[in-house]
Amino acid sequence: MRKIPNHGTLRMTKVAYPLGLCLGLFIYVVYIKWHRASATQAFFTIAGAASGARWGQQAHSSLGSAIRGHEVFYGIMFDAGSTGTRVHVFQFAQPPGETPTLTHETFKALKPGLSAYADDVEKSAQGIQELLDVAKQEIPFDFWKVTPLVLKATAGLRLLPGEKAHKLLQKVKEVFKASPFLVGDDCVSIMNGTDEGSLKTPGRSSVGMLDLGGGSTQITFLPRVEGTLQASPPGHLTALQMFNRTYKLYSYSYLGLGLMSARLAILGGVEGKPVKDGKDLVSPCLSPSFKGEWEHAEITYRISGQKAGSLYELCASRVSEVLRNKVHRTEEVKHVDFYAFSYYYDLAASVGLIDAEKGGNLVVEDFEIAAKYVCRTLETQPHSSPFVCMDLTYITLLLQEFGFPRDKVLKLTRKIDNVETSWALGAIFHYIDSLNREKSPALK
């Protein structure tokens, strides 16, 4: 029996995460666009933060001279996802009066995810410390005390019972507090739906973002139609303050509709529960002759195909059942330019819809065409990934459920204006800015 890895054969790039923080990434991207459109709009000045009262008490005495003339600063973001924990060590540079830019990123990932230690929280500390050591090696000693350290946990921990998740986060916080970095009371948290989420800059059209992770999927855009605001369900709107203005965003995270969780639902399994008596999970989305094992959230499932009819039609019917009444549809998405990240990118690249390194544009129907072709091929011959028919069909119908027409163009990219599309980058950028804007020190 074939053993199928958690992600099949999809290649996960270092900027494609189980789920994203679209809102955080957007803040960084829009800041760059805003600043370029109007150089007089000052978002923050790291020199003031480093030497002023807010960070001054934490700063090493030699810091000012070390960064004088060309300001340099660092940030550390831990991404505690459903399949692993990753550390991103970012270095920024800011010439006087200009936009801060990312000059270097160090990245390292460890498996499994934090949720795997739910019943033995002490074991989680070793991996966290190993990733902290990476940060200590990359950041000069003089910067340690002024470099913020943050962990954002995603869908994996949101699926755990509250008490287990709390104990895991408390253990992480203990390890963080013992580190030499700048650690606040809010340094460790589980992201909610509004955290996981475009903004309109002067003279520019609104931009939306789509992110498909392993445990959840997110959609975020700035509504310009009053009807969108009025018709949005509770929890789908969030206020964002930027550039001395408050914006109301449409932003929602659908827990359980990420690609890995969707696979399990399409197979007929239940999150966190092994199948009784070790029976196979049978799906019309798999090749009729396929039999194998698939591991998800530390549980191994036996899976097999189903012999009957047209693979795509049967799979689409099953996916429709899983998505029924799960996603809110908005008409306005037809008129907003959307960027799509993570598994949208990886699936499109894996079947040749876009260049694997450069990305590209496609229309929603391209996913459908690819799904029908691959599913038809699977009826008679195996594919390197047994899930490719299922995954492409799921993305096709998910986008349609969101309200995207078949001819809607999506931009699939890893960079916007040469900025890597990592939610961790946006999140740490936003965190640093929030420290700078606070009226009194919030960090110990």
Lowest model confidence (mean pLDDT) among 149-153, 174-178, 242-246, 370-374: 242-246
pLDDT value of position 221? 87
Say whether 218 counts as a known binding-site residue.
yes
Which residues, in sequence order, are CB contacts of 335 under 8 Å at separation 6+? none
Maximum mean pLDDT: which of 114-118, 275-279, 316-320? 316-320
Check the annotation: does 61 bind a ligand: no
Query: What is the rounded distance in angstroms from the CA atom of residue 122 to the CA atom of residue 55?
Result: 32
Query: Cα separation of 122 and 120, whole Å?
Result: 6
Task: Give just the sign of the alpha carbon dihedral 40, 44, 50, 52.
Answer: positive
Q: pLDDT tens-digit profile of 249-306?
A: 888 889 899 999 999 999 999 988 888 877 899 999 999 889 999 988 878 999 999 8
Q: Which pLDDT value is given to residue 92?
A: 84
Q: Is the pLDDT of residue 375 over 90?
A: yes
Q: How far is CA 1 from CA 158, 165, 291, 303, 424, in A?
A: 32, 34, 6, 10, 38
pLDDT: which is higher, 177 or 289: 177
The percent of residues above 70 in pLDDT, for the chain, comes to: 69
Q: Apex CA 147: angle with CA 241 and CA 22, to 5°?
A: 40
Question: In 3D, which of 56, 143, 41 has the Cα closest to residue 92?
Answer: 143
Q: Is a pLDDT exceeding 90 seen at residue 363? A: yes
Residue 217 known to bind ligand: yes
Cβ neighbours for 1, distance < 8 A, ≥ 6 positions apart: 291, 292, 293, 302
196 is an active site residue: yes
pLDDT tens-digit profile of 194-213?
444 443 333 345 678 898 98
* Residue 292 in marked binding region: no
**Position 163 confidence tier, pLDDT thresholds 50, 70, 90:** confident
d(CA 62, CA 73) in angstroms, rounded, equals 14
Of 105, 122, 130, 196, the catalytic one is 196
Residue 120 has pLDDT above 60, yes or no: yes
**pLDDT at residue number 47:** 26
pLDDT, residue 107, reads 86
| CATH 3.30.420.40, the chain: domain bounds | 66-190
Q: d(Cα 416, Cα 423) in Å, to the nearest integer?
A: 12
The answer to whether residue 420 scores a pLDDT higher than 90 is no
- Which two three-digit tokens encode residue 250? 């449409």
User: Mean pLDDT in the chain?
Assistant: 77
- Which among 403, 401, 421 has a CA at the least distance from the CA of 411? 421
The tens digit of pLDDT for each residue in 45-99 reads: 222 222 222 333 333 333 333 344 458 889 999 988 777 788 999 888 877 766 6
CATH superfamily of 66-190: ATPase, nucleotide binding domain (3.30.420.40)
Bigger pLDDT: 442 vs 273: 273
Q: Taking residues 183-204, what's their average pLDDT?
A: 60
* Predicted pLDDT of residue 381: 78
Is the separation of the CB atoms in 340 and 361 below 8 Å?
Answer: no
- Give 378-409 pLDDT, tens digit per residue: 888 776 789 999 999 999 999 999 999 999 99
CB atoms within 10 A of CB 124: 23
377 is in an annotated binding site: no
The runs of H, that is alpha helices, within 299-363 are 311-323, 343-350
